[in-house]
Amino acid sequence: MKKTRVINSDISRVIAQMGHFDTLSIGDAGMPVPEGTEKIDLAVEAGLPSFMQVLENVLSELQVQKVYLAEEMKLQNPEQLKAVKNLIGDTPIEFIAHNQMKQNLNNNKAFIRTGEETPYSNIILESGVVF
């Protein structure tokens, strides 16, 4: 049995297959996922699991060099933005329009759907290297 915190087999597989500059997204229950992007659906009910719970879990295993957040998050969900900033520390953030974020999902290895129901609780994680 795995000793690391990520025990979901699909999430673990995707992280293991990530290369430098590959992207993985985590988002709220309402984010539309393009047909060609793998969706790992963790949503059980409203709020379960939360966006932050899943983000923290993924960050325990994935080396991230940059994150992308929706510009709209600044005004529409400032508490969630603060929590993300606290969790990612010095990792650079690029803010993009929410519509652009939806388009960028076409290039993701996968999208992890949570039960989160707060606006703009979506993130794109850009993989870094550990060496």
Question: Which residues participate in the annotated binding site for substrate?
Answer: 28, 98, 120-122
Known binding residues are 28, 98, 120-122
Crossing angle of helices 51-59 and 9-17, in 10° steps, is: 50
Instruction: Give the C-alpha separation, 87 to 101, whole Å.
Output: 21
Positions annotated as catalytic residues are 20
Q: Compute the half-sphere exposure of residue 31: CA atoms within 13 Å on the CB side of its CA.
A: 36
